[in-house]
Amino acid sequence: MDTLKKLLQEIDKKGYKAYKKIKGVYQFKEFSLSIDHVQGDPFAIPSRINIRVPMSQAGFPTDSWATRQISGHSNVIRRIALEDYLGRMVNKAIQNNCRGQRGSGGSGIIDIEINGQKSLLRNAVLINHEFIEVRLVIGLPAADRRVAGLQAQEMFFDELPVIVEQALYYKNLSANELLQYVNCAEDQEVLRHSLKQNNLVAFIANGSLLPRSSGISDEPMTGKIIHFKSPPSLEVEVKLPHSGKVTGMGIPEGISLIVGGGFHGKSTLLNALEHGPYNHIPGDGREKIVSNETAVKIRSEDGRVVSKVNISPFIDRLPFGRNTQEFTTKNASGSTSQAANIIEALECGTELLLIDEDTSATNFMIRDERMQALVSQEKEPITPLLYRVRELYEQHNVSSVIVMGGSGDYFDIADTVIMMDEYLPKDVTQQARDLAYDKFHQPPDQLDKLAQFMPAATSQRKPGKQTLSAARNHFSEKIDVRETSYILYGEHRIDLSQVEQLIDIGQTRTIGLMIHYYASHYGQTSFNENDTLTTHLTQLIKEANENGLDIFSQYKVGNLAMPRLYELSAAINRIRCDDWSVSLK
């Protein structure tokens, strides 16, 4: 502590690079401070520090974060939730006690990488039996590109100790709020695990708040709001360890339609289901809305790259004999991109597809009778989802929830039909069935005549060396993430703007690093019987869960968050390179 203070006094008013001398570990009275990286300029990326508080001093009860059994498996959700909670408490303490920018560039800022409405596995806060570690970035203060030593002392010796005291000591936090936060996450995990035993793919509790404050915000709507209420016929009761008995709408396995007029809440409900694989923080309004953890939102994606994907179950007999079992393009159409998105989701083991007709290719979704009469089946390469979705469920146990506002053809194959009416759901399954096969509408011929079945397994695809290379110009490797939707990976710009369940820039950063890790550890091995991109990425996710996100970064950072398997795979699938290998099963 005294050593750091002396160093800051010695370098005061010297050139900014003199800050390099303070890199190291310092022992304060209540915690240790490690200055891991020192920026070379006040306008550069801020410096990185970490703080460790011994658990014996922090005083958090083991029960507040210890591993528990959920559905027969060890689960660390309480630890993840407490890490998330403490990160938010640190952020709150920063806002209350840090003066913020003072000087040129980013001088004076202190920040932690935790935000949003979801509780994710991150590396900003780490908890174990020995200590709590918090990783921050700090803008070392400057005056005209010179060291502002007195202001640096203020940050290290006045602000940081108060932040630690207010946010990282159990005695100074609300025990009830902390317990509610951790229990809320555990309830969501239990609720999600209970879906299968109840033959459900999703659950929306009564009283949930689905609408968000705006189209670009994930925060809950305020003011006049309508809380969710299940129709009696779909109401399910579940028992949670902390909330007790909870009732709400259960969406059964199979094919479910969400219908209704425009602006009545169809897409709002689907959006809540999209985010159902993630745990929400208390107060979000969606704390008891869960979906199957493998749920994937499917959409058309004009212009995306597709590399050797077997889209033949949906698109075949292309002009000039173009191969659709190893379909490759750098500029996919709406229908081919949507077909590829479904096949790639199946490769990742999805059990639930979420689809909105508003973001789908019309010719991929339906082909009405008059169009069939005009364009013969022999001249139409597209087999619409309408004729495959039943098979996906019955043959491959993949359920679908589809928002459909413009076509009643899906009534013919739906198990459940939910109508949104002024943001409240109604079960109209029977009415839809009555309309399905009446005198005005006969079942489409293809439902009876279609003979080709979807394959039980798809091709074993694997990216090559060029795809996985992060080399760029004179850099040995270059991975840069400045926003959630894009990764600059070597020479490649990976566009993830249409991967709608990617929710946090920390996930995107981790994906970039995981691709490079994959290239180093898995990417150059030869094919064997079970060798696929997905099997390797599944192992990668397992490693991250067991060993933490730090294994992917050569530096100690606190800005990573865990992605799901599908979003990780989606990033590799969108790299624009031609050197993919494929082995058909």
Q: What is the pLDDT of residues 55-78, one digit of tens each?
A: 999 999 999 998 887 776 668 999
Say what the pTM is.
Answer: 0.94
Q: Could you tell me if residue 337 is inside a domain?
A: no
> What's the Cα-to-Cα distance from 138 to each of 110, 382, 456, rounded to whole Å?
5, 55, 52
Q: How confident is the model at residue 18 (pLDDT cuts 50, 70, 90)?
A: very high
The sign of the CA dihedral 268, 270, 271, 272 is: positive
- Identify the pLDDT of residue 74: 65
Structural domain ending residue among the three candidates 117, 141, 173: 173
Q: Could you tell me if residue 276 is inside a domain?
A: no
Which amino acid appears at position 372 of this protein? Q
CA-based radius of gyration for the chain = 27
Helix (H, G, I), strand (E, B) or coil at 416: strand
pLDDT for residue 507 is more than 90: yes
Q: Considering its fold, how many domains does the chain have in total?
A: 2
Q: Could you tell me if residue 59 is inside a domain?
A: yes
- Extract the tokens encoding 389: 């979705």
Q: Could you tell me if residue 453 is inside a domain?
A: no
Give, for 392, the enclosing helix (H) or strand (E): helix 389-396
Residue 197's CB is within 10 A of a number of other CB atoms, namely 9
Which are the contacts of 272, defined by CB distance < 8 A and separation ≥ 6? 204, 208, 210, 286, 289
| Burial (0-12, 13-18, 19+ Cβ within 10 Å), 432 | buried
Query: What ranges make up the beta strands (E) of 184-325?
Result: 200-205, 212-214, 217-220, 235-240, 244-252, 255-259, 279-280, 289-291, 296-298, 306-309
| Residue of 436 and 41 predicted with greater confidence | 41
pLDDT for residue 15 is more than 70: yes
Q: Could you tell me if residue 509 is inside a domain?
A: yes
Structural domain ending residue among the three candidates 143, 173, 203: 173
Tell me the pLDDT tens digit for each residue of 215-248. 888 999 998 889 999 999 999 999 999 999 999 9
Q: Could you tell me if residue 309 is inside a domain?
A: no
| Burial (0-12, 13-18, 19+ Cβ within 10 Å), 378 | exposed
Q: Could you tell me if residue 554 is inside a domain?
A: yes
**CA-CA distance, 412 to 19, in Å (whole number)?**
70
Tell me the pLDDT tens digit for each residue of 475-487. 788 999 999 999 9
Residue 246's CB is within 10 A of a number of other CB atoms, namely 17
Which are the contacts of 563, defined by CB distance < 8 A and separation ≥ 6? 502, 507, 508, 510, 511, 514
Range of the domain at 36: 2-173
User: What average pLDDT score do residues 315-342 get?
Assistant: 90
The alpha carbon of residue 437 and the mean position of all alpha carbons in its chain are separated, in whole angstroms, by 40
Q: Could you tell me if residue 447 is inside a domain?
A: no
- Identify the pLDDT of residue 215: 84
Q: How confident is the model at residue 317 (pLDDT cuts 50, 70, 90)?
A: confident
> What's the Cα-to-Cα distance from 98 to each of 94, 110, 132, rounded to whole Å?
5, 7, 21
pLDDT for residue 499 is more than 60: yes
Structural domain ending residue among the three candidates 173, 199, 227: 173
Tell me the pLDDT tens digit for each residue of 446-492. 444 444 456 554 567 888 888 888 988 777 889 999 999 999 999 99
